[in-house]
Amino acid sequence: MECLYFSASRCRSCTQMTVPYARQLQAKVEDCQHELSGFGSLKFLPAQASNEQGFRNKAKMVISGTTEEPTIGILDADGHGVDLRNCGVIAPALRSLFPVIERFIKELKLIPYNVPKRKGELKHVILTLSDTGAVMVRWVLRTKKHFVALRDSLPQFLEHLPHHSVVSVNFLPEHKAVLEGEEEIILTRRSTLEFGLNGVPMHLRPQGFFQTNTEIAAALYRQARQWIDDVNPESVWDLYSGVGGFALHCAGEDRTVYGIETSTEAVAAAKTSADSLGLPDAHFVAQDATEFALNAGWAPDAVIVNPPRRGISAELSKWLNESDIQHVIYSSCNAKSLARDLERLGNYTPQLARVMDMFPQTDHYEVIVKLERNAA
């Protein structure tokens, strides 16, 4: 795809923008094969390609400029706003809302935050698009100065949003390079954004995490479900479960699943999904994954791990390696930490891997690996 922002050097976030997409995807496969070259038995399935544009279901936009002429985009090196409202990797449905955001900034006289001067109120607007068409809009403010205006304008604002959308206000009083603060007030009656990936309802709360590429997330969950169904375990743990994507996809009759996640918001969302699906044997616990595993007192037939970029802990690797768990599925966004962890899991053989292109136009990708315990 072509990007005028990239060509004009206004934004360089998409580092591979000038590389043809087929070449991007092949380079990611080759990089992953290189990082995992120490595992000779590992077979790579065909990579899962993505749409190369309009794939991002989340837009984290910095608001800068003035009330009369706000910029919606990013900041340059000096802290001044760069307007990116026509960014091509953001889903068109989200881009269509930027004029609405601008209109309400002007009508409510919201004051954009000036980073160099450390003055102003409105810092960010974070938008997330569901595959149902609904959206979540989160206004990030420095103080509560504009809160009443945003709250009172909700009926008018909702007229411009799809049905079943969610609107909230987040407060970030500190001057630091983060997107959101701890306090969040949901303005709508609906508190979660519902997705329907592969027919599985999943709920996202305002401070929860969801993959930014819905199409590839759905493919990732399908792949894990296929591998789990192939071996048909009676019990599965989904460690670092987030809003329960892997656990909910792998749950079923005569199968007990546990999702373990530190975020209480994500666990609450996962429980909502399990209840809506009528899954009494799907359990979600707000706890550290390593702590849960080491203290559970029992081990399941299969484990799925989907850790952050740093990978799983040495303690969890050791516990898994010494357990009698037969099947492990490892989903990773960092092939280097994945290779390290696979080395630690020497009692398992990595059998299959598949690159999932979650992040086109960048060097980043997701990879999912199926491991089987070695015969005694």
Query: Three-class SS of residue 285?
Result: strand
Dihedral sign (CA 7, 9, 13, 16): positive
What secondary structure does DSSP assign to 152-205, as a single string? HTHHHHHTTS-TT-EEEEEE--S-SS-S--SEEEE-SS--SEEEEETTEEEEE-
Classify strands 327-332 and 302-305 as parallel, antiparallel or unpaired: parallel
- Token code pair at residue 52: 């190369």
Spatial separation of the C-alpha atoms in residues 20 and 218, rounded to whole Å: 24
Can you say how many angstroms the Cα of residue 125 is from the centroid of all Cα atoms in its chain?
17
- Name residues whose C-beta falls within 8 Å of residue 219's C-beta, 6 or more positions apart in sequence: 48, 356
Catalytic residues: 333
Alpha-carbon distance of 89 to 73, in angstroms, equals 13
Q: Which of 62, 86, 64, 85 is nearest to 74 (CA)?
A: 62
Contact 53, 95 (CB under 8 A): no
User: Which two three-digit tokens encode residue 44?
Assistant: 């790579």
The DSSP code sequence of 242-260 is: TTTHHHHHH-BTTBEEEEE
Token pair in block for residue 117: 């001067």
Tokens 């360089």 locate to 12
Rounded Cα–Cα distance for residues 349 and 43 (Å) = 11
